[in-house]
Structure 1
Amino acid sequence: MLTGSCYCGLVGFEVDDAFRYAFYCHCSRCRRRTGAACAAVGGIEIDKLRITAGREHLLKVDESEEGYRCLCKRCFSPVYDTVRGNTFAHVQLGALSGIPSQRPDHHIYVGSKADWHEITDALPRFEELPP
């Protein structure tokens, strides 16, 4: 079991250490949302993520048939997104207190990565999404 929280600590969650996949996303949306060169994300079935504190302080944004984003209403930290018709959660790995067993093992959207950022590892890279 892994625990995590938003920046201010108002929203807490736990997630099974059973991520199905993990990746670094370099798209312009993730860069703007995180303020970093890329987002580190882990994907897991939605029922393996539980909010343990501050549920009433979660803000849902960008809602669609595919899913939505959850932020803390106080500090606006990204906590997780729902994807795949709300069946999976994309957890911001930087919000975790522990180290997940599944580490990011590829990069996506490197075709739109920040020009000032150099990827220095040997992980597979995809211009957009993997095939």
Structure 2
Amino acid sequence: MHKGSCLCGKVTFEVDCDLPPPSACHCRQCRKHSGHFEASTDVPRDAVTVHGEAYVTWYATNKARRGFCSVCGSSLFWDPLDREKHKWTAIAMGAFDTPTGTALERHIFVSDKGDYYEIADGLPRNEQ
């Protein structure tokens, strides 16, 4: 069981499965939403229990909806808009409270990355 929360603790969650290796997304939307690049792991939606859902606000973009705490603003979730087709949700790695037992697998949308940092960890990169 992996546990996590937002900064203020109004939203907490548990994930009842092993965490797949996360990806780091450097797209413009993830950078704007998180303040840098965003690292998240995709888990089956039915393995996630959220407490304090009333404090989760969703912002929809063209392909996904992004969940954040309405009190402290912590970025927490990323859901594909086609929830019937995609039965998973992405959870921000920084929101986990416990050791995750996983490690970053790759970088995506590196063609959109900010000009103020370099990616130097040697992990695979996808331009888009």
* Fold conserved between structures, TM > 0.5: yes
Query: Equivalents in 2 of 1:122, 1:88: separation in Å?
Result: 28
Contact kept? 1:17, 1:101, Cα under 8 Å: no
Query: Equivalents in 1 of 2:117, 2:61: separation in Å?
Result: 30
What is the CA distance between 1:99 and its match in structure 2?
2.3
Residue segments in structure 2 that go unaligned for 5+ positions in a row:
none
Aligned AA (1:62): A
Matched, 1:70 2:67: yes
Q: SS in structure 2 opposite 1:29?
A: helix
What is the CA distance between 1:67 and its match in structure 2?
4.6
What is the CA distance between 1:89 and its match in structure 2?
0.6
- Of 55-64 and 70-79, more deviation after overlay is shown by 55-64
Moved over 4 A (4+): none
CA RMSD of aligned residues (A): 1.7
Matched, 1:2 2:2: yes
What is the CA distance between 1:61 and its match in structure 2?
1.8
Aligned AA (2:23): F
Report the counterpart of residue 114 of structure 2 in structure 1: 114
Report the counterpart of residue 42 of structure 2 in structure 1: 43
The TM-score with structure 1 as length reference comes to: 0.86
Q: SS in structure 2 opposite 1:111?
A: helix
Matched, 1:18 2:13: no
Q: SS in structure 2 opposite 1:14?
A: strand
Report the counterpart of residue 56 of structure 1 in structure 2: 54
Report the counterpart of residue 78 of structure 2 in structure 1: 81
Aligned AA (1:101): G
Contact kept? 1:42, 1:104, Cα under 8 Å: no
Contact kept? 2:65, 2:81, Cα under 8 Å: no
Report the counterpart of residue 101 of structure 1 in structure 2: 101
Q: SS in structure 2 opposite 1:56?
A: helix
What is the CA distance between 1:69 and its match in structure 2?
1.8
Q: C-alpha offsets along residues 26-52 of structure 1, whole Å, 9 cap, x if unaligned?
A: 11111111112x11110011011111x
Query: Equivalents in 1 of 2:80, 2:48: separation in Å?
Result: 13
Residue segments in structure 1 that go unaligned for 5+ positions in a row:
none
- Of 14-23 and 70-79, more deviation after overlay is shown by 14-23
